[in-house]
Structure 1
C-alpha cells in the first residue's frame, strides 16, 4: 500500500497551477471565435490539451482532474456527520469501522460491484480532505481488546453523554421514552443420556453441545416491553412451528454464530423496534453498540424518526445494563423450571431442541408481563443509574471485571487501532 509520504509527493507533482475560473474564460474566448485554442491557453495560463479537450467535448466543463471519485462529496459529508454523531453518543469509530461504512456507501452506489475499491489510498486522502472536521486519536492501551477492569473514566464519560442527551431532549421525567435493549444467550444441549462408565464407577450424564441461540429483549424504564427477537445459529428450525408456538409478535432471524450481527440489528430496528415503539418522540435507546455494531442506515433512520442512540461503554454490562441486572437471570430460571431442570448443576445448558425452543421461551418470557418482572426492570434501571438518572459514585465492587469476559460465539477478535475518530475542536465540530 502507498505510504502517506509517497502520496504527498505524487500530489505535489500533479497539482494543477490553473483555476477553473481561468479555464472557463479561456473556453468562452475560443467558442466566441475571438481566440484560437493556442492563444487562449497562453493568455489565461491553462494547458492547451486540457482546453482542447473541453472545446471538443471529450471533457465536460467543471470536471475534476484525476481518477473518478469513489464516493460523492455529499456522501463523504454524510460519512463525516455520521462519524461525529456516533462519537458524541459513546461509540467513536476506528479506522477499520469508518472504511467499512464508506464501503457500504460505495456498494450502495454501485450495486453490481461485488467488492469495494476503498482502501489505504482512499483513507489517506479522506484524512487529508477532512482534517478540519475530524481528528484521529491514538487508542488507549486499556481499551484495546478485553479490559481486565471497568474503567471509572469510561463510566464518567458515559454518564456525561447520557445527562447531556436527557437534558437536551427533556427526558428526565419520561420513563416510557427511555428504552434499553440487550441480548441473552442460550446454549442448547442434547437430551441427557446415561452412559456406562468403567466397572464399579456407576454412570454419568453427558449433555453434549448443540446449538447457540440469542434472544434480544427491549424494555423501557416503566417496564413495558417490545416483543423479543430470536436469533438461531446457522439456520431456522424445520417447519413453521417455531413461529406459531413462540412469543406473540416475536421477530426471528439467524446468523452463523447465533448472535445479533450488524445486519440483524438493522432488521430489528427498522422492522420491529420502530413498529412497536411509541409514536410520541423523541425516544432514547441505550444499547451495547460494541456487540451489535452500528449500521449507517440505522443511524440515518434513527435521526429521521426521532430516536436518540446512546452506546454503553465496552465491558460494562454488569454495571450499566439493566436487563442483565435482574430480568435475564429471572427468565433463564423460568426457562429451566419449564424444562424440569430447576435443580440442574449447570443452568447455562438447556436440554431442549432447536425446534421446541421458542415454545419454552414463550412461557419463560411471560414474566416480562407480570408484576414481578415489571418491578425488577424498574428496579434495575434505578440501580444502574439510568432512570432516574443518577451518576452515583461507583465503588471497588462496581469496578470489578465482568463475569462474562470470555469470547462469545461471533465476537470479533481484539482490534487494533490506529485510533478513533472524533470531532475536531472548533465550529466544525
Structure 2
C-alpha cells in the first residue's frame, strides 16, 4: 500500500497538482451541467442575440443573494498558544435573512440594488446608509416573490430606458417568481426580452454568480466584523444591513468585475466553447446518453476481441496493439436516463454486467 512518502514524491513529481478543498456539488447541478444542455443554451442565446442585435449596454444579468444579521464565518485572529477555545463576538445565534437584488450589464454598468426585508410593514430607517438609488421591499420571509419581481422590473425599466424601440435583454435564472404572467406581460410591453439560464447551471453560466457575489459577500463580512469591533456591546440588526451593504457594494460593483464575469461565462465576447472538458466531469456519472455510450463500448470490445490474435502473447505483432483509453476499458458508473422505459433500463443493466 502506498504511504505518505509515495504521496509526497507524487506531488513533487507533479507540481501542477495540489491539495484542494472541493466545493459541494449537488446531484441536480451535476446532472444539469453537461455538454448537451450547455450546447443547447448557447444555441438559443446565439439565436436571440442575432434576432434582436442588442447593443452591449442593453445586455443585463439579474440575480438575488442573501445577507444575514449573523456572520457566517469568523475571520482568524491571533491568540496565545495553549488556549483550547478562542471566541469571537456574534450578533445572535440565529439571524434574519435579507435578500439583495443586483443587476449589471456587459459594459460594467450596475442597476441600483433592491433589498427585500423580512417584515410586513416598511420602515424608512431600514434604508439608512443604503446605496444611492436603491429601493426596498418587504416580504414575510424576505424572499423574492412574483409580485416583488414585477415591481422590481419597473425599477429596472426606469434605469435602462427600455422600450419597444430600445429592447433590453435580461438574463436570469428560471425561478418561479421570475415567470409570472403579470411580469412577462409587463416585460413584453416595455421591450424587455427575458432569457432564462438552463436549470441548475447558474453556478457556471450566470455572470453575477461567477464574479460579483463572491467579492460582495467577502467585503460585506469584512465590514460586518469591523462594525462589531468599533461598536462593542451592540448587535447587527436588519436596520444596519443597508449601511454595511453600501460599503461592500462600492468596493465590488466595479466595471472590471462585470466585464470579466460576462467573459468567463462566454456571453461577451460570445464563446460557446468557454467551458473546458474537466468542468463537465461531475456530469459523467449521470450522462443522459448512457445506452448509446454503452452500445459503443460493447462494439469496441467486440472489435478488440476479433482483432486480437489467438496466438500466445509473446508472438503478438505490432498491428494488434490498439490505442485504448482508460474510459473504454473501465467506464465511469452511470445512471439510466430519466424517462427511459423499463425494458431499456433492464437492457442497460445487462450491458453494465
The bucket for the TM-score relative to the shorter chain is: 0.5 to 0.7
After superposition, the Cα gap between the structure-2 partners of 1:397 and 1:278, relative to the gap in structure 1 and judged at 3 Å, is farther
Once the two structures are superposed, the pairs formed by residues 149-164 of structure 1 within 5 Å of their partners are 149=31, 150-164=33-47
Residue number in structure 2 paired with 1:249: 133
Which one has more relative contact order, counting CA pairs under 8 Å at least 6 apart?
1
Instruction: Say which is worse superposed, 218-227 or 244-253, in terms of deviation.
Output: 244-253
**Pick from 49, 52, 61: which aligns with 1:166?**
49
Once the two structures are superposed, the pairs formed by residues 309-324 of structure 1 within 5 Å of their partners are 309-324=194-209
1:358 aligns with 2:246: no
Q: Find the aligned partners of 2:282 and 2:268 in 1 and give their Cα distance.
A: 24
Query: What SS does the corresponding residue of 1:339 show, helix, strand or coil?
Result: helix
Query: What SS does the corresponding residue of 1:390 show, helix, strand or coil?
Result: coil
Task: Tell whether the 8 Å contact from 1:233 to 1:257 is kept in structure 2 after alignment.
Answer: yes
1:382 aligns with 2:297: no
Residue number in structure 1 paired with 2:289: none
Residue number in structure 2 paired with 1:278: 161
Residue number in structure 2 paired with 1:148: 30
Residue number in structure 1 paired with 2:150: 266
Deviations 1:218-276 (A, max 9, x none): 11100111110111224467x4222242111212112233221222111111x301111
After superposition, the Cα gap between the structure-2 partners of 1:400 and 1:215, relative to the gap in structure 1 and judged at 3 Å, is farther
Paired residues in the alignment total 240
Task: Tell whether the 8 Å contact from 2:115 to 2:137 is kept in structure 1 after alignment.
Answer: yes
Residue number in structure 2 paired with 1:308: 193
Q: Find the aligned partners of 2:226 and 2:30 in 1 and give their Cα distance.
A: 33
1:219 aligns with 2:104: yes
Task: Tell whether the 8 Å contact from 1:235 to 1:254 is kept in structure 2 after alignment.
Answer: yes
Higher-Rg structure is 1
Deviations 1:276-335 (A, max 9, x none): 113461110000122643111121122221111100111111211111111111112221
Deviations 1:157-180 (A, max 9, x none): 111111111001112xx2101000
After superposition, the Cα gap between the structure-2 partners of 1:255 and 1:288, relative to the gap in structure 1 and judged at 3 Å, is same
Query: What SS does the corresponding residue of 1:313 show, helix, strand or coil?
Result: coil
Deviations 1:317-370 (A, max 9, x none): 12111111111111122212222369x9xxxxxx7311110011111111355x
Once the two structures are superposed, the pairs formed by residues 387-406 of structure 1 within 5 Å of their partners are 387-392=268-273, 394-399=275-280
**Pick from 124, 133, 137: which aligns with 1:240?**
124
CA-CA distance at 1:204 after TM superposition: 4.2
Query: What SS does the corresponding residue of 1:389 show, helix, strand or coil?
Result: coil
Unaligned runs of 5+ in 1: 1-144, 193-199, 345-350, 403-416, 419-429
Deviations 1:41-76 (A, max 9, x none): xxxxxxxxxxxxxxxxxxxxxxxxxxxxxxxxxxxx
After superposition, the Cα gap between the structure-2 partners of 1:203 and 1:363, relative to the gap in structure 1 and judged at 3 Å, is closer
Task: Tell whether the 8 Å contact from 1:187 to 1:209 is kept in structure 2 after alignment.
Answer: no
Q: Find the aligned partners of 1:336 and 1:236 in 2 and give their Cα distance.
A: 27
Residue number in structure 2 paired with 1:30: none
Task: Tell whether the 8 Å contact from 1:242 to 1:359 is kept in structure 2 after alignment.
Answer: no
Task: Tell whether the 8 Å contact from 1:190 to 1:353 is kept in structure 2 after alignment.
Answer: no
After superposition, the Cα gap between the structure-2 partners of 1:235 and 1:398, relative to the gap in structure 1 and judged at 3 Å, is farther
Instruction: Say which is worse superposed, 382-391 or 278-287, in terms of deviation.
Output: 278-287
Q: Find the aligned partners of 1:314 and 1:212 in 2 and give their Cα distance.
A: 24
TM value normalised by structure 2: 0.61
